[in-house]
Structure 1
Amino acid sequence: MAAPYIQEEHEIFRESLRKFLEKEAYPNYEQWEEDGIIPREFWRKMGEQGFLCPDIEEKYGGSGVDWGFAVVINEELERVGSGLVGIGLHNDIVVPYITAYGTEEQKKRWLPKCTTGETITAIAMTEPGAGSDLAGIKTTAKLEGDHYIVNGEKTFITNGIHSDLIIVACKTDPNAEPRHKGVSLLAIERDTPGFSRGRKLKKVGLHCQDTAELIFEDCKVPKENLIGEEGKGFLYLMEKLQQERLVVAIAAQVAAEEMLKLTLEYVKNRQAFGKQISRFQNTQFKIAEMATDIEMGRAFLDNLIAEHMEGKDVVTKVSMAKWKLTDNARRIAAECMQLHGGYGYMEEYEIARRFRDIPVASIYAGTNEIMKSIIAKNMGL
């Protein structure tokens, strides 16, 4: 049964995107993995076809469509490979800070190039000493005349190498009590004096996704680049993290679906002891268990997406989806690799890549332990 938010126009869009990816992404993905980066040219091609930020208003270069189109994009990119997560981050995590809290001047200045792929975005929250505790960040931004002077370091930044525009969480009031009231968001552009990039980080998985360290040394940022109001950055982050976590849940669900499909094909074709592996009861039970978890996850996720699009308060359910679906996907990756036997450990089999790529989904956008704390708190515990 089709998801409640999917209409005919979404399916037409999906078919168009699939054809594009079959030509531009699938044949090149393994090379991107070896290169450790996705070429900017692919971003520009995505933009040319209307696959970047389609929900932005037409006057800023978007198509003004509903968020169901973004869901389709995230699903189809995940089917290619988890390393394309940076595009979903650009479309549905970073750019919404500008559309929601940016000034008209900021929107006119930045959004059109975000839709064409000329400008690639990132968000910089995590620091070497601050992950889930966002109120504990140390990066400072001191207003001096017409500029903020930014000092600090960020790490694990998705799109860290390619990014042209970065939303940076920093402390404009290091002495604020409570601490979160001192956090603000600044948009820092590629060639800003005092901004540099550190290492492109080597990761267990997501090899083609460029993740990097960012360094700010007396970085001079125009005060016009403040996103929203000073001191409200933490509030903005909490509001937008819900959609970020939903994007992670969508990717995890699709990854699980893809891994099961790969494994079904393998066990039906591979033989042992004179018969197909799929005919062994252990294999059947494992497949049945995974298929059930995936089906239940999909039902919960589709309903949640519909509620999110209707503007309902979904904080608790999003936290549930983020932890449960990423946990499911991680477990399913291990089960599927086991059913592949020795071949599952070979890089030429896609399940090996999926096995490497999925664990981080339980960590970023708020660890699964944080998700459980949110659920418990919202239950009055």
Structure 2
Amino acid sequence: MAFQIPRGTQDILPGEVERWQFVEQKARELCRLYQYKEIRTPIFEHTELFARGVGESTDIVQKEMYTFEDRKGRSITLRPEGTASTVRSFVEKKLYANPHQPTKLYYIGPMFRYERPQTGRFRQFVQFGIEAIGSHDPAIDAEVISLAMNLYNSVGLKKLKLIINSLGDHESRKAHKEALIAHFEPRIGEFCSDCQNRLKQNPLRILDCKKDSGHELMKSAPSILEYLNEESVSYFEKLKSYLTDLNISYEVDPNLVRGLDYYNHTAFEIMSDAEGFGAITTLAGGGRYNGLVEDIGGPKAPGIGFAMSIERLLAALNAEGYSLPLEESIDCYVVALGDKAKDRSVSLVNELRQAGLTAEKDYEDKKMKAQFKAADRLKANFVAVLGEDELEKNIITVKNMETGDQTEVSINHFISFIQESK
């Protein structure tokens, strides 16, 4: 029987995985500069965490979660996103008690959603995200957006668009919710069943519906910006001022609501403007979630974060035709000829590696010409040839593959020669 990979998943093979490592390393470097610390949470959690933390009216909870019962009948869910787990850990491990706040965390790991697979979207996908918990300051909102934009810029993406919106505080959202119900209710029967269910649960989510996006009531729906109270307006204006100070361009879209129930005040998405990227242009999204920590059983602690798909970032790089500057060569390939030389090459290659040099040798008993071809495929900077005669003289012939120069080197000084010649 021939086994195949499950639909919506992928094998990331050598040659491609290096691109992932490059992006992930850039993310870690940026987080160090911004002082975000890594957190690693379980891949599965109790289902109730996501129902409460993500929101029962969301598509994620209603349609997309991988949920099962364990052997004791407990409902378990593979994590569909990273914020709920991070906040759960923040509460459970009492990170709010640390003297330095806000608590700034990041994660990189697989998430799972039962969605229709398409370009850059999988059922198992890798998400990088950050969470800053414990501050009401709009400056931290600007910092979170800045980190996201800087990551995309640092890997070479150019065609980006930042969309922002304010969802207001509890008072503003309540007024807007009532206005949306009054607007949609008389003709809600013309909308899909999901929108009909959302009318009373969370009418803001109707604006996020893809199926009914062309309905005339969508265009005339009351904007959240019309219902922001003085505090919410002031918060949003301060955020926009900070983004301007950071030289970050943005557009305000009053219809941007995001797909999760816990957002308030700041909401944002970063999109790709690259031609041919696909119908779904969103690369990253995030926002403020004041109240989520309390919902999960913690103290009052406001938060903001974002998440981005590594798959979609790489797809955007492909759409822009940009190749990452990956290190694909090795330092030295050792060619061994004869049994004694082959035996000695085992320790020589190990000595190179112990010295921090990338090295390889033949394990298939190939002829000299074939070993040189192998060195070419690995883009070796140097090829070291060791035969029986060289071994007796305690020397090794080193060829610089860029210049073609050959040098006889004492085996005792071989490692230092390669180090100095790099």
Do the structures match in fold with TM over 0.5?
Answer: no
Which bracket does the TM-score occupy, shorter chain normalised? under 0.3
TM-score by length of 2: 0.24
Higher strand share: 2
TM-score by length of 1: 0.26
